[in-house]
Amino acid sequence: MKDLRRLAIAVPAALLVLCLAAAWATRGSMAHMPFLKSNGGPAGTHTLVDQRPWQTIESLAPLAVSSEEQSFAHEAARLADHEVDQAFALALRQAALQTRTPTGDALILQQKAAQLQALVKEDQGKVDALTAPLKQPNGSIADSDDLDVAKAQLQLDSDELGDATEQLSRASGDKRGQIQQELTARQAAMKKYDAAQANTGGQIAVLSARRYGTLYGRVSAWFDQRSRMDLIRQAKVETDSNIASLTAKHADFESKATAAVADVNAASSQTSPTTPQDAVKSHVARLAQAHALSQMHSIVDDQLETQQQLSAVYAKWLAQVELQHSIVTHLALQSFSVIAFLILCGVILATLSGKLLDRSHMEQRRLHTLRTIAGLGIQLVTLLLVLLVIFGAPSQVPTILGLGAAGLTVVFQDFILAFFGWFILMGKNGIRVGDWVEINSVGGEVVEIGLFRTALLETGNWTDKGHPTGRRVTFINNFAISGQYFNFSTTGQWMWDEITVNIPPSVDSYKTIEAIHNSVIKQTEQDAKLAEQEWQNITRQNGLSQFKATPSVDMRPAASGVDIVVRYVIRAGDRFDTRNRLYQSVIGLLNQHAGTPDPTSSPSKVEERELAKV
């Protein structure tokens, strides 16, 4: 058993250590934005044009919370968009400048592409000729089959031209087609981004921070801001790195452009009207190259300036997030202060309530109960207020209240039934203090009827009313609704009582029984008439049969003679006095029939037993 307990502890502990070690080993997986490790395309892909400045701000912009952050994000997006556009322009010019004269397979592909271009132009002319009559108000409608065939032929030739152009680009090293495809894809993505950012808006920093009204929200915002600051710092570091690389590229293009201009100036000084045609073409090529290098130099200069502005925007954005971070930190500290204040108030209230209860002169057991209830109540209220500070009020209050009410109804259904059962017990057919009742097979006299509980002083059986067992029995009042109870104290509190007498064999049994019967009738006659009248009124109203209250005598054989049981109706409150009088009368009758007129003589064992009952 001990081995199983140790194993049950060791396995989760080992699993916890293993998970913590794995989490620590992979802690750097979320430290950097994944696209910063690629060349500008999606993670793990390579593109000709570096689009990381735009992809960085595209990932950071949705994280902007306040209106200040969103303004910085929009400015950074504008600068990054311009920088990437300039990168595409530079890439296209570099690709055009590096284009070589095709030879071999490239020359064949060039000729094929030229033929396909002419064929596509011819197909387009046929389509235009067939669709031209449709544009005239009274033009004849062309044959739809011919038009469909022409369009299909145009589509096939266009696709073949696209394939040939792509093959030519790969064979000749011309990257302008691939760059153009990347530019087209970027323009499509920009349209989606602009549509998504059209309806964005936010509050100023103070208001946006105050919307976190709970400690949980403020702590979550605090950690989110920490993550956002790390990402913005990464973006700024990447931008500064791009600035360094662009500075070097700018210097390189500047030196190349200066050298090209110097070469053109030197060639111009040597050119004359008699210069051969090839030299003139070479001079024109030098001029074009110098012009292209000058344009690329200006593009790189623009890129460098844009990256510097972008770095400044990231710095301002980072400062704004740090300001919001300090605001959220202040609000979180306020929440912690409120929690500390609530806990302090709870401790003070618990102490004061304990001292007040100690001064009371209440029973020690009840005092301990009240102290426990007061302490638990203060703790529960304090815990509830602390939870409200941490998590706030529930958003779906009606639903939560409904579910809570249903749960409380199930949990406290006995107390709810007890509360409504008290009204039934207080009604016409209920019970009162002093009534003789039987509840859940426990008989006794009612001593207390509370709002939730009823207390009985238990008796041994239904004939022993007034002789408690010494136990106080308490019932929840739900028995008035979900159960049943017997109230022997009926209207007028009339009840059947009985006495038992043993007649010795030497006595004339029949005469003695008759005398006892007459004595009982005489002493209970008035009560029997009143009981019959009340019972007749009740049964007449309810249409029931009539009840009689005439005393009865039952005989039972016994070893020492005959036992007679005399039953009669009497008020519950007068039961003991009437029983004592009847026993005295019975004893007197027995003595007379036994020939011992002295009433002071000692009673028989049976009489002693009967008197002991009294």
**Cα–Cα distance, 387 to 210 (Å, whole number):** 19
Calculate mean pLDDT across residues 146-168.
75
pLDDT surpassing 70 at residue 273:
no
Tell me 305's DSSP state: H
| Residue 443 shares a structural domain with residue 548 | no
Q: Considering only 102-111, 118-127, 271-280, which range has the smallest mean pLDDT?
A: 271-280
The residue type at 260: A
Which of 326-330, 380-384, 401-405, 467-471 reaches the highest mean pLDDT?
Answer: 380-384
Residue with more model confidence, 121 or 466: 121
Share the mean pLDDT of the chain: 76
pTM of the model: 0.54
Q: Residue 347: inside a domain, yes or no?
A: no
In a domain, 46, yes or no: no
Residue 503 and residue 598 share a domain: yes
Q: What does each C-alpha distance from 537 to 112, 124, 487, 491, 525 come to in angstroms?
A: 124, 115, 19, 11, 19
Question: In this structure, is residue 604 part of a structural domain?
Answer: yes
Higher-pLDDT residue of 291 and 249 is 249
| Cα of 73 vs its chain's centroid, Å | 33
Taking CA 478 as the corner, what is the angle to CA 475 and CA 479, rounded to the nearest 5 degrees? 70
* Complete DSSP assignment for 214-273: SHHHHHHHHHHHHHHHHHHHHHHHHHHHHHHHHHHHHHHHHHHHHHHHHHHHHHHHH--T
Residue 613 pLDDT > 60, yes or no? no
Report the number of distinct structural domains present in the chain. 2
Looking at the domain assignment, is residue 256 inside a domain? no
What is the bridge-based pairing of β-strands 436-439 and 494-503? unpaired
Confirm whether 456 is domain-assigned: yes
Mean pLDDT of 232-250: 89
Q: Same domain for 458 and 500?
A: no
In a domain, 421, yes or no: no
Residues 529 and 581 in one domain: yes
Question: Looking at residue 61, what DSSP letter applies?
Answer: G
Same domain, 600 and 508: yes
Phi, psi for 572 (deg, rounded to 5): -60, -35
Task: Give the β-pairing of 453-459 and 494-503.
Answer: unpaired
Range 399-428 average pLDDT: 83
Phi-psi region of 13 (alpha: psi -120 to 50; beta: other; left: phi over 0): alpha
Q: Which residue has the tokens 């009742």?
A: 437
Higher pLDDT, 587 or 237: 237
Domain annotation covers residue 316: no
pLDDT band at 454 (very low <50, low <70, confident <90, very high): very high
pLDDT tens per residue across span 316-358: 999 988 888 888 888 888 889 999 999 999 999 988 988 888 8
Per-residue pLDDT at 34? 45
Looking at the fold, whether 509 and 474 belong to one and the same domain comes out as: no
Q: How far apart, in whole angstroms, are the C-alpha atoms of residue 141 and residue 213? A: 71
Structural domain of 464 = 429-487
Q: What is the per-residue pLDDT for 504?
A: 77
> What is d(CA 302, CA 355) in angstroms, rounded to the nearest whole number?
79
Q: What is the pLDDT of residue 127?
A: 78
Q: Residue 248 — φ and ψ, nearest 5°? A: -65, -40
Instruction: Give CA separation, 417 vs 190, 403, 410, 426, 477, in Å.
Output: 67, 20, 11, 14, 7
Q: Which of 314, 292, 307, 310 is nearest to 245 (CA)?
A: 307
Q: Residue 315's pLDDT is what?
A: 92
Tokens representing 383?
């815990």
Predicted local distance difference test score (pLDDT) of residue 612:
46
Contacts of 560 (CB under 8 A, 6+ apart): 502, 504, 505, 606
Predicted pLDDT at 600: 41
Distance (Å, rounded) from C-alpha 179 to C-alpha 508?
137
The sign one gets for the Cα dihedral 583, 588, 592, 594 is: positive
Min mean pLDDT across 231-245, 527-541, 589-603 is at: 589-603
Query: Which of the four pLDDT bands, split at 50, 70 and 90, describes residue 272?
Result: low
Tokens 């008989």 identify what position?
443
Which percentage of the chain shows pLDDT scores above 70?
75
- The amino acid sitting at 149 is V
Contact partners, residue 470, CB within 8 Å, separation at least 6: 458
| C-alpha to C-alpha distance for 367 and 356, rounded to whole angstroms | 11
Average pLDDT over residues 157-165: 74
Selected residue with higher pLDDT from 390 and 189: 390
CATH code at 505?
3.30.70.100
Q: Let me know whether 554 and 464 are in one domain.
A: no
Same domain, 577 and 472: no
Spell out a b/e string for 79-99, using b for 16 or more CB atoms within 10 Å of the CB, else e. Answer: bbbbbbbbbbbbbbbbbeeee
Q: How far apart are CA 200 and CA 70, in angstroms?
A: 9
Residues 602 and 532 in one domain: yes
Residues facing 457 on adjacent strands: 445, 472
* The pLDDT value given to residue 71: 84
Q: Report d(CA 261, CA 290) in Å as an integer.
A: 6
For CA atoms 358, 364, 366, 371, the dihedral sign is positive
- Token digits for 423? 């009204």
- Give the Cα separation of 549 and 536 in Å (integer): 10
Query: Cα–Cα distance between 288 and 86 in angstroms, integer?
Result: 20
Tokens at residue 550, please?
């005439």
- Domain stop point among 472, 487, 502: 487
pLDDT value at position 119?
Answer: 82
**pLDDT above 50: residue 541:** yes
Q: 595 with 499, same domain?
A: yes
* DSSP string for residues in 381-421: HHHHHHHHHHH-S-S-HHHHHHHHHHHHHHHTHHHHHHHHH
The CA distance from 80 to 77, in Å, is: 5
Q: Dihedral of the CA atoms 263, 269, 275, 278 (nearest 10)?
A: 10
Strands across the sheet with 552-558, in order?
A: 494-503, 561-571, 552-558
Instruction: Dump the DSSP string for 516-584.
Output: HHHHHHHHHHHHHHHHHHHHHHHHHHHTPPP-----EEEEEEETTEEEEEEEEEEEGGGHHHHHHHHHH
Are 474 and 507 contained in the same domain?
A: no
CATH classification of the domain holding 483: 2.30.30.60
Nearest 5 degrees, angle CA 421-CA 423-CA 426?
A: 110
Specify whether 506 is located in the same domain as 465.
Answer: no
Contact (CB, 8 A) for 158 and 120: yes
Last residue of a domain, one of 487, 504, 526: 487
Residue 45 falls within a domain, yes or no? no
Last residue of a domain, one of 487, 502, 528: 487
